[in-house]
Amino acid sequence: MKSDGLHLKLKWSFLGLLVMNFAWADGPDDNKPDAVREIPPQGIEIDQSASQALLWRCKAIRTQWQTIYSDAQEKDPTKARQLENLEAEVLVFPRAVELALEFNQFYRKQDLESASHLLDEATQRISRIENGADWSETVGIGRTTETHTVIGGFRSQVDDSFQPYGVVIPANYSITPTQSRRLDIWFHGRGEKVAEVHFLTQQQRSTGQYTPSDTFVLHPYGRYCNAFKFAGEIDVLESLRYIETQLRIDPELISVRGFSMGGAGCWQFATHYPDLWFAANPGAGFAETKEFLNFFQNEDVSKSAPHYEQTLWKLYDCPPWSRNLLTLPTIAYSGEIDKQKQAADIMEESLKDHGVQLTHILGPNTAHKILEDSKKEIESRMQAIAMNRESRRCPKQIDFTTYSLRYHNHHWITLHGLNKHWEEANVRARINGSSIIATTTNVSDIEFIFDSGQWPNQKAIPITITIDGQTLEGPLPQSDQSWSWRLSHANGKWKPSQINESVVRKKPRLQGPIDDAFLERFIFVLPSKKSKDPLVENWTSEESQHAMTHWRKHFRGDIRAIKDDELTEKEIAESNLILFGDCDSNSVINQVAHQIPINWNEHEISIGNSKTPRKGHLPILIYPNPLNPDRYIVLNSGFTFREYDYLNNARQTPKLPDWALVDISNGSTTQTPGKVVHANFFNENWLPTSGGKEAQEESSSQ
């Protein structure tokens, strides 16, 4: 960023003085790794009989549903499939109550009443379904011509859990249900007590900040308090795909909006998925890690975070990706004296580097809220953008930036390979008649894809591509105006791609880091035997349990776990394998150890030039599964941020790269799984780096 840093610091310091009398959830007490407050916090004491009554009702609902489903399987397979599609819309409610009881997340006596009402809803839905209700009738759409809300759940592909959502249904929807409508996604703010019961109840009672005319508003839960990142990010995309199967949504009129933590989520989705939305409307929140924590939390992470962690900030930091907003209309909002105005300020400075002035609406003399007058102005601008549909589906010009193949496509550009991850990769391309003119930076494998009806020139002549000054003649377009061509770069020249997909290399959805494995379907594979090293045995037992407990506690997921000797071909084909243990205790680790870039002998463990003694040490890594190269294996890790990072969403970034060698002899902490002795990234061929700048940085960081 080329802004005047001193000017920004003075401005933010002044705003900090203005809002010093307001209460903030975070503060200096949350900068103590040895005294981390519990998140989610413990709720009130509940009478055991009340707790048992709720659990009994949950069990009864599940039993009733299973009885109906089993009967349908036996007598009517078509009905059984219909029931499968509606299962989450019923069982999301008992699951919400069970989680609240499991983690003691009833914070008021009214929460018990809310739980009871949600179970009533589940029972009523079963009755409707037995009477032949479809999805719309099941969830209660169309019973009124007024704006109203519906709540429900969908099955996550990540872990099979039922995740909640809310949708605002516009007035008069029941009159024209087949009309395609705009949809806004609204990201909610941080709430450490917003468990599923609270979320569903709130969505049932309130239509939220914005209810634009003739517009659906989707409220994803986002798996609790993670700023809609990691599994929360996948939750948003899955909830959108699910709702698109149930409601007539105009695919060219979907926007992202949010405030506070939701503003952070909005910045993330706007910069990382710019081709999915017609507009973005972030408010407050945070847009990056280092500056925000320094300003908001008085924490200088640039001094405490190792080099690989600072590199990984690029995954979710939005300023490095801000160029993607050149093609996405964006309206930011901040209270004039809101401390979280910092997010829009830093994005404004970043956009200036690309010659763009951020539209930034300020609520005069306002702290952390959205003024009603500002809402009217924002919505007027959103409506105007929605009316301008020209070239939204297939723009003739693209400017796309990424740092990871996790985010690899933008309209008709798809990247299959980078020269080096975590360095800026950019594609600028435009259509000129029957030609495409493109320039690239840090790209090794690119595909131009136009779906049916998208190629704008209907003439049956070959399409030429001029890429980085080199001109190639491609194939003819298809008769349905579709066209695609993939090129790879080698020895200084572009040529039609002849990539061997069987070669192990980093590609979309197989590029790391460790946390990437938890964005797709995964299963924990635990050791059936004991390690010869008591330190490894104790750590494996404790850390595998920690990983599973915190997946359920923080990402509100269901645990899929088996022993190594129970692993099936089906799980190998469908899931990332999260393997805990060592070669002695886990047979799957022993099976794949010689096929991954690690040397694990009797005395030491080594990855590349990095070595540790075997005793009291373990490798943590991610790698394409040798048993199925289309999926990952992970050794000895759940998601990599820990309890200390729960205290502020900006801390929730990947903490480990592709691999690490860890001294586990003194156990884990609220920040690390042990003492990280060595850690680094694999190169684009999934091999350890050696020599050069990276190795020097690794050595100097210890």
> What pLDDT digit, counting tens, does each position of 633-649 carry?
999 999 999 999 999 99
If you average pLDDT over residues 491-510, what whole number do you get?
90
Is 50 exceeded by the pLDDT of residue 5? no
Give the pLDDT confidence score for residue 697 in this predicted structure: 39
Q: Encode pLDDT of 93-142 as tens digits.
A: 999 999 999 999 999 999 999 999 999 999 999 999 999 999 999 999 97
If you average pLDDT over residues 6-11, what whole number do you get?
40
Share of the chain above pLDDT 70, in %: 94
| Cα–chain center distance at 303 | 27
H runs (alpha helix) in 507-644: 534-554, 569-574, 587-592
Banded pLDDT at 390 (limits 50, 70, 90): low
Q: Which domains does the chain have, with CATH numbers?
A: 138-387 (3.40.50.1820), 409-496 (no CATH), 514-700 (no CATH)
Concatenating the DSSP letter of every residue in 450-483 gives E-TTT-S--S-SPPEEEETTEEEE-PPPPTTS-E
Find all residues with CB under 8 Å of 414, minimum gap 6, and list them. Answer: 408, 446, 447, 448, 449
Give the pLDDT confidence score for residue 20 in this predicted structure: 34
Is 60 exceeded by the pLDDT of residue 691? no
| Mean pLDDT taken over the chain | 93
Give the pLDDT confidence score for residue 143 in this predicted structure: 72
- Beta strand extents in 564-699 (DSSP E only): 576-579, 599-600, 604-607, 610-613, 617-625, 628-635, 659-663, 675-680
Banded pLDDT at 394 (limits 50, 70, 90): confident
Residues in the chain: 702
If you average pLDDT over residues 381-393, what whole number do you get?
83
Please state whether beta strands 409-410 and 397-402 pair in parallel, antiparallel, or not at all (unpaired). unpaired
Residue from 250, 262, 256, 260 nearest 279 by CA: 256
Do residues 368 and 284 touch, judged by C-beta distance below 8 A?
yes
For the four alpha carbons of 684, 689, 692 and 695, in that order, the dihedral sign comes to: positive
| 444 three-state secondary structure | strand
Banded pLDDT at 3 (limits 50, 70, 90): very low
Q: Encode pLDDT of 449-459 as tens digits.
A: 999 989 988 77
Q: What's the Cα-to-Cα distance from 25 to each of 282, 297, 339, 508, 560, rounded to whole Å?
A: 20, 10, 12, 37, 34
Is 60 exceeded by the pLDDT of residue 322? yes
Find all residues with CB under 8 Å of 501, minimum gap 6, and list them. Answer: none
Is 90 exceeded by the pLDDT of residue 485? yes
Please state whether beta strands 181-187 and 249-259 pair in parallel, antiparallel, or not at all (unpaired). parallel
Tokens at 553, concatenated = 């506690």
Cα–Cα distance for residue pair 442/672, rounded to 1 Å: 32
Do residues 254 and 276 touch, judged by C-beta distance below 8 A?
yes
Is 70 exceeded by the pLDDT of residue 695? no
Cα–Cα distance for residue pair 83/66, rounded to 1 Å: 10
688, amino acid identity: P
Residue from 92, 118, 123, 281 nearest 205 by CA: 118
Q: Encode pLDDT of 20-65 as tens digits.
A: 333 344 678 899 999 999 999 999 999 999 999 999 999 999 999 9
293, amino acid identity: L
Is 50 exceeded by the pLDDT of residue 4? no
Give the pLDDT confidence score for residue 49 in this predicted structure: 97
Q: Encode pLDDT of 656-685 as tens digits.
A: 999 999 999 999 999 999 999 999 999 999
| 254 three-state secondary structure | strand
If you average pLDDT over residues 13-24, what whole number do you get?
37
Cα–Cα distance for residue pair 421/513, rounded to 1 Å: 10
First to last CA, the chain: 28
Is 70 exceeded by the pLDDT of residue 2? no
Banded pLDDT at 13 (limits 50, 70, 90): very low
Residue 334: its H or E element: strand 331-335
* Winning range, highest mean pLDDT, from 154-163, 474-483, 488-497: 154-163
Find all residues with CB under 8 Å of 242, minimum gap 6, and list them. Answer: 154, 165
Residue from 433, 435, 413 nearest 425 by CA: 413
Give the pLDDT confidence score for residue 28 in this predicted structure: 80
| 657 three-state secondary structure | coil
Residue 325: its H or E element: none
More confident residue, 462 or 628: 628
Is 90 exceeded by the pLDDT of residue 6? no
Give the pLDDT confidence score for residue 176 in this predicted structure: 87
